[in-house]
Each structure stands twice: as C-alpha cells, then as structure tokens.
Amino acid sequence: MEHVVIIGNGISGVTVARHIRKNSNKKITIVSAETDYFFSRTALMYIYMGHMKFEHTQPYENSFWKKNNIELKKGFVKSIETASKTLQFAEGDSLQYDKLVIATGSKPNKFGWPGQDLEGAQGLYSKQDLDSIERNAPDNKICKRAVIVGGGLIGIELAEMLNSRSIPVTFLVRENSFWNGVLPEGESAMINRHIKNHHIDLRLGFNLKEIKSDENGKVKSIVITETGEEIDCNVVGLTAGVSPNIDFLKSSTIEINRGVLVNRHLETNIPDVYAIGDCAEQRDSGIGERRPIEAVWYTGRMMGETLAQTICGNRIEYKPGHWFNSAKFLDIEYQTYGWVYAKPRENEAHFHWKHEDDTKCITVCYDTTNNTFLGINTFGIRMRHEIFDRWLTEKRDVDYVMKNLPQANFDPEFYKHFEKDILAAYTNQLQTA
Amino acid sequence: MSNKIDHSMSLATPDALNITTKQKIALATGLVGLFILLLAVFNVDFPNRAVFLAISLGLVIGGTVVYSREAYLTKLEGIKNDGAWFKSISSRGVLGWALGVFLTTFYIVLYFFPKYLGLGVDGAANTGLVALFDPLSNLLSGNNASQWFVYGTLYTVAILAFGYKFMLKYRHNRYQQLRTASVMFFQTAFAFVIPELMARLNSDDFSLPYNDLKNMWPLNYYAFDQWRVDQFINAQTVGLFFLILGVVMIFVISPFLTYKYGKRWYCSWVCGCGGLAETAGDAFRHLSDKGTKAWKLERWMINSVLVFSVVTTVAVISTYLGYDSEKYWFTKSVFLISIGVFLTVLLAGILYYKREELNKSAFKGAIGFYILTIAFLVFFSFFDLSQIKINASYFSFGLNQNSYNFDSALRSFYGFGIGSIFSGVIGTGFYPILGNRTWCRMGCPMATIMGIQQRLFSRFRITTNGGQCISCGNCSNSCEMGIDVRAYAQKGENIVRSSCVGCGVCSAVCPRGVLKLENDSMDGRINPTEVLLGNDVDLMDLLNKN
C-alpha cells in the first residue's frame, strides 16, 4: 500500500489528506510539530478574545482521524532525503514515504530589525504565537502598551485582539494609508478612520528602527525610524507579511526559491514530491493575475483538492477559478471577487460608492475599452460568491452588474439595501463623466 | 455604526473583563430588586404590596437596562462576544454553577412546593411572595395571584429586560432586533396579559380555561385534557372557536408557516420557551454540546418525547371518549382509527416521496417509533384504560401511595417528567451549564414535529456563500442548538437541519459573510459538494456531478 506523507496539518495538508482518503485506501500520515490536531489558524484571534476556546477552532472531532484512517504524527522534520524517500525528525526518528506533500505554510517576516527575537516580539501565525501573546499580554497591567508593525490583515487582527483586553495599541504602518497596496484609496481611508474610532493609535508612514530590551531580555520599547521617537511597550507584533516556512529544505535536493518551486501540477523537481499552500511557489509565473506565492486559506484548500486527484492517479493541473478573498477589519467585513487593484491599471476604471455612515463601500473595476466587469470590493455589505463567479465567467458588462446588484446581495434578512443608491450614484457618475 | 471620529473618548477603552462603575451600580440596583422578592419569600410583610412589587420589578428592569446601555452603547456596533469564555457566569465557572443551582431550586419549589412561595392552601389567603403579586393579579384578572402568576410575571419581566439587552447587543442587525421584538410582544400580550384579561370574562355560567393562543399542542400537553375540552365546549361559540383554532393551528397554520419560513417562525419569533432562551439565555448559547454523541442523544431523546406525548394525549382522549362519547363528536374507536390512519398515511407518504433524503438510521428510527405508537393505539382500543390501576408508589419512591387509572397515570407522569422536570428544572435551570436550548433541542415535541417538516418539507435553509468559509468555528460555537454549522459551511453545503430554530446568530457572528438564512425553492436546497466554488471549473464538474 502506497504511503503518502504530508508535512503540515494546516488547511492545505488536511484537505489533500481528506480527498486522498475519499478516493483511495492509501496509507496517509500527516506530520506536524505545531499541534496534535488540525485547527483553523484564522480563528486564533477569537481564542485570545474569549469568543472561543482552542478546541472550538478544531474543525473535526478528535475521533475523525482514526475513523478515516489518517495517521497523525507529532514531530519536526529536520531534513528530507529524497533519494531514499526518508524524513529525518529533530526528535531522532525517521519515516519512509512513497509520495510526499510539503504543506508547511508560512512564517512571519522579520526584516532584521535589532531586537526582533526578544521575548515579547512576535508574529501571529502559529499556536505557539498565541501562547506567547497570552503569556506576554494577558491584560493591560502586565502589558501596558503594545506596538504593531506592519499594516496588513494580521496586523489589524492583532490590534483588535489587544483592544479586546483594553491594552493600548500603537499601530505602525509603513504606507501612508492602511493596506493601500491592495485597497483602493477610498476604502483604505475608510479603514484608517475605523481603526482610529476603535481608539487604536494608528501611525501612518512610519517604520520600525529597533526594538529595545530590558535587563531580562524582554521588549522594553521601540524606536521609530522617521522621528526617532521611543515608545514604551511590552509587546511588539511583527506583522509585516509572511513568507514560506521552508528552511528545513535548504539541505535537500528539492528546488526552492522563496518557496518550494512547483509546476502547474504542483509537482516539485523531485518525482513523488509535491508542495501546496502558502509554501508553494509557481515555477514559471503566477497563474493568470495571481502571484507565484499565494498565502491565502482558500488557495491552500484548492491546491489540496486538486493535488489529491493527481496523487490518486488522475493527474490534473492546478487551475484555480476566479479570484476571491475575504477579511474582517474590526467591525467591517470585506469581500472581493475578481480583480480590483489599488489603482486602476491601463484601460481600467473604478466606480467607488461609499455610504454616508462611513462603514460601507464598494469599488467596482471594469475595462474601459469594452465595459467588461472585472471585479468588486465590498465593505460592510455581504455579496454572493456564486453570482459574481458566474458574472465573471459570463464576462458581463459593468452596466449589467450594477443593474443586477440586488441579486448578489447576501446580507441577513430585513437589512437595509443600498443597491438603489449605488445604481443612482453609478448612473450619475456616467452622466457627469 | 458610524466612523465619525469621536474625540471625547479616552484612548484606553474600558477593560472588557471588568465592568465599569456604572455597571456595578446597575448590577447592585437589580440585585436590590431581587432582594425585595427574596424578603417576600421569607414572609416579610410589606405594608403596601403594590408599591413594593412595582419598586422591585422596576429596579430589576432598570438595573438591566442601565447595565446593557453601558455595556453596548459605549462601543461601536458589531459582534460583542469578548470574554464570553472567560467570564465565570458564562463559562461554567463558580457564578455559572451558583446561578444554575439557584434556578434549579427555584423551579423545584415552584412546581412541587408552591406553599413555600406563599401560595394559600385550601382557600387560605396568600402570603409571602405570592401575596406580593396579588395586587397586580387583581388589576389584570380580578383574582388573587397563584404561583403561576408569579412565575408568568417574572418570566415576562426577564424576556422584556434581557430582550432589550439583546437588541442593544445586536443593534446593527435588524433580523435580530425584529425577532426579539416579536418574542417580547408574544410573551407580553399572548402569554401574559390577554389570558389574564380573558379571565375577567369568566362568570358562574361561562368560563374559559387559561388560554395562551400561541401555545400549541404538543408543547401544551394539556391542550386536550377533558376538563379543558369540556370548558371550551361549554363556553359556546367562543369556546368552540378556540378549540377549533387549536386544532387548525396544529394541522394547517403551523405546517403552512413552517413550509414557508421554517420552524423559526415559531421557535425564535413566537414561542415563550424560545423567547426566554433567546433573551435571558443568550449569554449561555455557546455552552451547548456540538459533539456527534450529543447529536445522537438528541435524536433518540426528542423523538421519544414526541412518541410519549402522542401516546399520552391519545390515551387521555380515548379514555374520556370511551365512557362519555355522546358528549363529543367522536367515539373512542373512530378516534383511534383516524389517528392510526393519519399516522400510517403520513409515514407512508414520507417514506415514499422522501426516500432519497432519508438515511438508514432515520428510516429505521421512523419505522421503530411508528410501530411503537401503533402498538399503543391497538392496546388502547382493546382495553378500557380507566379500569387499569397503577400504583404511583412504584414510580415515586413510595412518596405517593395513591393508585391511578392508566390514562391519568400516563398523563401525570408526562406532566411531571416532561412538563416539569425536563422543560423547567433541566431546561431552564441548567441554562448556565448545558446552554439555553436544552429543552428545545432534547425535549420539545412541538420542535420535533416542526423539525421533521423543516428537514423534509420547507423552503427554509441557511445558505453557505460559495467557498468563502475559513472554518473558524464562530458559527458552531454560537449555535444554541448544538449544530456543528461549520461542518456544513466548510464543505460549501447549505445547512438544512431539523433542529435549527433560525435564530440567525451563526450568520451574525460569521466574520466572512458566509451564512444567510433564506426561504427559497426546495430544489437544490440540500447541496453536498466535493470541491468548493472558486476552484477549477472542470474539476468541480468532474467531482460534483453526483
């Protein structure tokens, strides 16, 4: 019986395991050094905030794995010998595989800041990161202030977490507006205001120079590059993005760049070795407009769904459908379907609508040469994935999309609808343009 | 929710785990209100009962209102679950257990020892707590209070005060606000004020039983007891109207509304048990057990209670039809045969038309419970239950030495076991331990009937938004019915479960906008997929076709 070993028990590794089990009776082992069982990484914040306990973030009951004959091994893979198809563990033991899936995810970026490895300086990615923040910032007496460095999705989640325990937060963002490398100006500005309304000290356009240590090797303060200002704090959140967690592969024959290099079939340069999820890097170029490395929950899952087919003998290419994503910025939900860039590219235009209460807005991107709808960002209004997926496939024009927007509404029943206002604003803009 | 910058507030928001001074004062105010009631229990004789009752209830409501305003209106609109698993009261801590013991004790006294609450026995005047409520009862119905009037008043006060709190908590969510307003209205008007006022119509030659119009059989297990049916029949047109309305509700109105909107029209918009659970019980919703073992137990338990309730009701009705049939339209045998035919046709219809949707265990369960019910019907038709005596001492540890007719024994046992212990003592008393919907999930026979229909024949479902689920678990965590909502959402599958009461909190707490309660066509309502939306179209076609 063929033995498939999967390194990493995140969404990618677990999805590929589940789908292999659905389609075959191969022996499956999932290896993880992080936790005994799969948990939802995206829910770590809710444990710290007291909405859930750790066990609630585990999508499957502990008996699920045995029932589905999926073996779980706790251990840290130190190296891979591809010639003998053997994994060497830091604990000293080893494991043979027939097929190997690398799904080790990401690690927080650290850009060589002085003091970045002090106790109290950390990212927010793993269960260990959660344990560490619980240790260093249990309340606002032990952690009098926290500084977060890096204005992305994890940064704002960390800010929300600390805020829930009344720990004052200073949020250093390198850009001059929150996440404006991704979000168009109007949206980004709205989120800036929302962050400030939560009494988070948002500092736009500032960089971290260094983290200073106290006599016990713990974080004492940080210094801002631009102003030289020193801010006393007990925790520093390093949330300036993530990169593939593949240091253990450096000595192996598996080809890596920033991530593990794979072809469109998610195969590495070594036969029977595959890589999926955050740690995989498309060898030639990103697929379509996608980046070569996609550190997104959904893409990890899709790669898992696809690779299971290949491993079970139905070799198929990884061809993700239309881009979609979602996030939540404190109280404002965000969804995106198709492509909306921060600034319209050539032959593109944006239509932006914002509600007067400053918590809801949408941006629609379309092609100015033929009016084709290209994508939408929506804040504070839920929309249907299925409808936009269909409209993108059908290459609907933007007028059609704007007129049929009510079809896409996914807000709970009895919510106020804004499609009329949006359409009026859209029509009005066309007339004045 | 508004982003307009508010400069007046300090940078440090109040500590989420500690309450503010204002909240402490509000809490103290409410406790003083409760303390007045406690003094009454211990027979402190207040000089002006009306004034002291008003002060007591006023303090309880006022305290809750001020507390809630301070808790929610000082913050931006949004999900307010911070610290739910840290607070002692809502995470089975010392306060949670203490509250559970207090509530349980209260229910035991209320059901079985009302004299300790001051109920006047054998025509004696009320004393203590019950007497404190006499003025209000006289104002409404013209009669002195009973322990049930005290309970009804406190129940209504709890729904109103905590309903207000819930509406503030979800002030960004109109679905939550409207359904809370709805349960507050139905409790106050239908369960409390109207029946009390209707009691004023009663005279020597005209009397209606206490009638909460929305409280249907089988939730209302005494709906067809002989004394009640007799009272309705004797009350001429009005009485007949209510009696017939009761039957029409069961066979026409409820199935119609459940078809259109799911059982939520009742369970989380109208029902009193649901009303208390959704308001006073909201803080405990995450305590329900989501495991598959609990689900298994639930299916056995709730269906057994339904069978028990059907059998009991049939036993009671067929007995009085047996010796008194000229008074009613049916004879005993016509009644038993029609029930048997109805159940047979219903089951045969389900097994035939819905055979694809029933899995093996549902199939087996349905047949098993059907045979059990029919066996009882046959038994009832051959024996005169009023001639079979049961000695209660076997079931009451010798406490009750009387012997009962079979039908009334069954009826009392149901009333005691299900009506009092399950729905009251366990159902509500254990809120802080088992969560706020234990009764609705494990015991309510009304919920079972509507649940079967919701699963098989309703337009209601919770739609999953394509592939947007991130498996975070907020939905499952906040499901008071213990449904593992995430298990469906992460597969891109709609949630169609018989137990779902449609409270909508899973949808509210979802951080990615994945869940929406909807009524739509029945086609494609249940949509298991292997590969989620967003992946390769060819792969989806290949794997999702079956």
Same domain, A230 and A126: yes
Closest CA to B442 of B339, B286, B303: B303
Same domain, A93 and A37: yes
pLDDT in tens, B407-442: 888 888 898 889 888 988 999 999 999 999 999 999
Same domain, A173 and A71: no
Contact list in B for residue A385 (CB cut-off 8 A) is: 465-468, 533-534
Tokens of residue B376, six digits = 């009882």
Same domain, A230 and A247: no
Same domain, A93 and A192: no
For residue B509, the chain A residue with the least C-alpha distance is: A51
* Count of A-B CB contacts under 8 Å: 210
- Cα(B469)–Cα(B488) distance, integer angstroms: 10
Q: Which residue has the tokens 């590929």?
A: A16
A257 lies in some domain: yes
Same domain, A102 and A248: yes
pLDDT in tens, B469-490: 999 999 999 999 999 999 999 9
Q: What is the pLDDT of residue B7?
A: 43
A59–B6 CB contact, under 8 Å:
no
Quick one: pLDDT band at residue A308, thresholds 50, 70, 90? very high
Quick one: pLDDT band at residue B524, thresholds 50, 70, 90? confident
Q: What is the pLDDT of residue A174?
A: 96
Contact list in A for residue B173 (CB cut-off 8 A) is: 412, 415
Q: What is the pLDDT of residue A100?
A: 98
- Cα(B91)–Cα(A267) distance, integer angstroms: 47
* Backbone region of residue B131 per phi and psi (left: phi > 0; alpha: psi in -120 to 50; beta: other values): alpha
Q: What is the DSSP letter of B143?
A: S
pLDDT in tens, B275-317: 999 999 999 999 999 999 999 999 999 999 999 999 999 999 9
Question: Which range (A28-32, B23-27, B389-393) has the least confidence?
Answer: B389-393
Contact list in A for residue B467 (CB cut-off 8 A) is: 298, 301-302, 324, 385
pLDDT at B186 over 80: yes
* End position of a domain, from candidates A182, A202, A235: A235
Q: What is the residue-averaged pLDDT of chain A?
A: 97
Q: What is the pLDDT of residue B538?
A: 86
Instruction: Considering only residues B13 and B136, tell me which one the structure prediction assigns the higher pLDDT.
Output: B136
Quick one: pLDDT band at residue B396, thresholds 50, 70, 90? low
Q: Is B10 on the interface with A (CB under 8 A)?
A: yes
Q: Is B105 helix (H, G, I), strand (E, B) or coil?
A: helix
Same domain, A280 and A353: no
Tokens of residue B139, six digits = 């104002």
Q: Is B292 on the interface with A (CB under 8 A)?
A: yes
Where do the structural domains in chain B lie, given as residue ranges? 1-76+113-201, 460-544
Q: What is the residue-averaged pLDDT of chain B?
A: 91
Contact list in B for residue A49 (CB cut-off 8 A) is: 81-83
Quick one: pLDDT band at residue B529, thresholds 50, 70, 90? confident
pLDDT in tens, A242-261: 999 999 999 999 999 999 99
DSSP string, B224-286: T-HHHHHHHHHTHHHHHHHHHHHHHIIIIIHHHHHHHH-THHHHTTT-HHHHHHHHTTGGGGG
* End position of a domain, from candidates A184, A201, A235: A235
A255 lies in some domain: yes
Average pLDDT value for residue range A184-193: 98
Domain that holds residue A279: 3-107+243-311
Alpha helical stretches, state H, B327-391: 332-353, 360-382
Q: Is B517 on the interface with A (CB under 8 A)?
A: yes
- Mutation target among A410, A411, A417 for the B interface, most CBs of B within 10 A: A410
Q: Is B383 on the interface with A (CB under 8 A)?
A: no
- What Å distances lie between residue A178 and A202, A338, A351, CA to CA? 9, 21, 20
pLDDT at B398 over 80: no
A316 lies in some domain: no
Quick one: pLDDT band at residue A432, thresholds 50, 70, 90? low
Same domain, A77 and A98: yes
CATH assignment at residue A38: 3.50.50.60
Question: What does CATH list as the number for B460-544?
Answer: 3.30.70.20
Are the C-beta atoms of A133 and A161 separated by less than 8 Å?
A: yes
Q: What is the pLDDT of residue B16?
A: 44
HEC letters along chain A: CCEEEEECCCHHHHHHHHHHHHHCCCEEEEEECCCCCCCCHHHHHHHHCCCCCHHHHCCCCCHHHHHCCEEEEECCEEEEECCCCEEEECCCCEEECCEEEECCCEEECCCCCCCCCCECEECCCCHHHHHHHHHHCCCCCCCCCEEEECCCHHHHHHHHHHHHCCCCEEEEECCCCCCCCCCCHHHHHHHHHHHHHCCCEEEECCCEEEEEECCCCEEEEEEECCCCCEEECCEEEECCCEEECCHHHCCCCCCECCCEEECCCCECCCCCEEECHHHEEECCCCCCCCCCCCCCHHHHHHHHHHHHHHHCCCCCCCCCCCCEEEEEECCEEEEEEECCCCCCCCCEEEEEEECCCCCCEEEEEEECCCCEEEEEEEECCCECHHHHHHHHHCCCEHHHHHHCHHHHECCCCCCCCCHHHHHHHHHHHHHHC
Q: Is A22 on the interface with B (CB under 8 A)?
A: yes
pLDDT at A235 over 60: yes
pLDDT at A214 over 80: yes
Pairing of strands A208-213, A219-224: antiparallel
A139–B17 CB contact, under 8 Å:
yes
Q: Is B468 on the interface with A (CB under 8 A)?
A: yes
pLDDT in tens, B247-264: 999 999 999 999 999 999
Q: Is B76 on the interface with A (CB under 8 A)?
A: yes
Distance from CA of B464 to the nearest CA of A (A): 9
CATH assignment at residue A403: 3.30.390.30
- The total of structural domains in chain A comes to 3
Tokens of residue A388, six digits = 């936009």
Who among B175, B487, B490 is closest to A414 (CB)? B175
pLDDT at A123 over 90: yes
- Cα(B331)–Cα(B340) distance, integer angstroms: 14
pLDDT at B393 over 80: no
A377 lies in some domain: yes
Q: What is the pLDDT of residue B6?
A: 45
Q: What is the pLDDT of residue B401?
A: 75
Q: What percent of chain A has pLDDT above 90?
A: 98
Are the C-beta atoms of B479 and A48 separated by less than 8 Å?
A: no
A424 lies in some domain: yes
Q: Is B7 on the interface with A (CB under 8 A)?
A: no
Q: A69: which residues sit within 8 A by CB, 6+ positions away?
A: A21, A25, A28
- How many CB atoms are located within 10 Å of the residue B291 CB? 12
pLDDT at A297 over 90: yes
pLDDT at A83 over 80: yes
Are the C-beta atoms of B451 and B498 separated by less than 8 Å?
A: yes
* End position of a domain, from candidates A273, A288, A311: A311
Predicted TM-score (pTM) of the model is 0.94
Same domain, A412 and A385: yes
Supply the ipTM of this predicted assembly. 0.96
B472–A46 CB contact, under 8 Å:
yes
Q: Is B535 helix (H, G, I), strand (E, B) or coil?
A: coil
- What Å distances lie between residue A210 and A118, A129, A178, CA to CA? 11, 21, 22
A359 lies in some domain: yes
